[in-house]
Chain A
């Protein structure tokens, strides 16, 4: 890797002050796993990195507030999400997704904040966070603001975060008793490859009927997105798997998959169809 400067502030405020809104070669670094991949490949050449590793407090915490909302600090490693009993209880689909996200060593180092802020469409958690109605708290020189997960991913490796903002936490709202969620992925090159298609579904159902569903797809598309037509197709339908076909069909129509080494556009479209169906089955039977 080529040389760069490294700063290690001790507080969130200090870290924000060190960010530069005008210079894309200055970036925060958390676990460093995603950045180091890019730096080693020569895709990113920083002049200065601001390490978040000395920051303490809520940024490293997992907790449930008085409303039952689950707060996940941006510096929480993915291995902690995988193993936390609080996450297992309040967002079991998140724990399950983390179990097959990359490998143990990456999960030990990679943080939730880096995972989300990277804006890489191949990450596993973003579509699930969208389906779960999660919100992100961003902190910058002008104070803090909340961004819905569905509005956070604005393009290929692009998020709604400003260059001088840091992600502080992700909050997953308390699930209603009639809701459940699931994430399924398709890995094309090997069992534990990055996903070629990832689909998350959150459904609310009563007496065998889907009241509503949020569906999101990632990896196949340039950014994680909601599948509005598929959501409309499943609303009010029965939870018998026959009615999932229509939603799967709608999803396959509305996505615009990007072709890459993991599959052509047509192939990924087909995989979206299959996995929307699987995600709906899994969510409505869990």
Chain B
């Protein structure tokens, strides 16, 4: 069966865009192949690790388990949409200043999830951070530094 392409339109990091997707394409595939955005990348492919995190209509999803066709009419934000020009967002800044990464493969997912957490909870405890991020895995095991980065970002955001 030849995949029937469909035309979808949505907002991507603040811009109105269109794409041609087949029903069996995932959100990660579409972002990489059609928009050359590689911040969301597939690792486990099963919803477990968070490397493929994308924000759809204000909520985090695993882009590896999300059909690209479901992006139609949605508001999509990827890690590439966080910085304003050269200026990193406070969570990105905090990951840099606390060295919340080693190889960096998991980092874009963590940064998006931490942004979501801090939107809901401006001053999370360590337990709350661990619980919220339990679906994000870091093979380099930089967890202690990630938790420091969350506290640091929370402090900055509370001052803003």
Contacts and interface: CB of A to CB of B under 8 A. Distances in A.
B19 interface: no
B70 A53 contact: yes
A102 B45 CA distance: 15
B144 interface: no
B82 interface: no
A49 B47 contact: no
Contact of B134 (A36, A39, A79, A103): A103
A99 B132 CA distance: 10
A105 B1 contact: no
Contacts of A37: 46-47, 65
B90 interface: no
B64 to A, nearest CB: 8
A109 interface: yes
Given A3-B1, A5-B4, A109 B66 contact: yes
Interface string A88-124: 0000000000010011111011000000000000000
Interface residues of A, number: 29
Interface in B4-36: 4, 6, 22-24, 26
A86 B47 CA distance: 28
B85 interface: no
A9 to B, nearest CB: 14
A192 interface: yes
B87 interface: no
Contact of A3 (B2, B66, B116): B2
A33 B64 CA distance: 9
B4 A104 contact: no
A7 to B, nearest CB: 9
Given A3-B3, A4-B1, A33-B65, A104 B135 contact: yes
A40 B59 contact: no
Interface in A104-160: 104-106, 108-109
A105 B135 contact: yes
B50 interface: yes
Q: For the side of the interface on B, what is the size category?
A: 20 to 34
A2 interface: yes
A104 B113 contact: yes
A51 interface: yes
B53 interface: yes
Given A37-B46, A37-B47, A53-B70, A4 B65 contact: no
Contact of B24 (A4, A8, A79, A105): A4
A6 B70 CA distance: 11
B22 A105 contact: no
Interface in A1-31: 1-6, 8, 29
Given A33-B62, A103-B48, 18 more contacts: A3-B3, A4-B23, A6-B67, A8-B69, A29-B67, A32-B66, A32-B70, A49-B23, A79-B59, A103-B47, A103-B50, A104-B116, A105-B47, A105-B113, A106-B62, A106-B135, A108-B59, A108-B60
5 contacts: A37-B46, A37-B65, A51-B69, A103-B136, A106-B47
Interface of A: 1-6, 8, 29, 32-33, 36-37, 39-40, 47, 49, 51, 53, 79, 99, 102-106, 108-109, 191-192
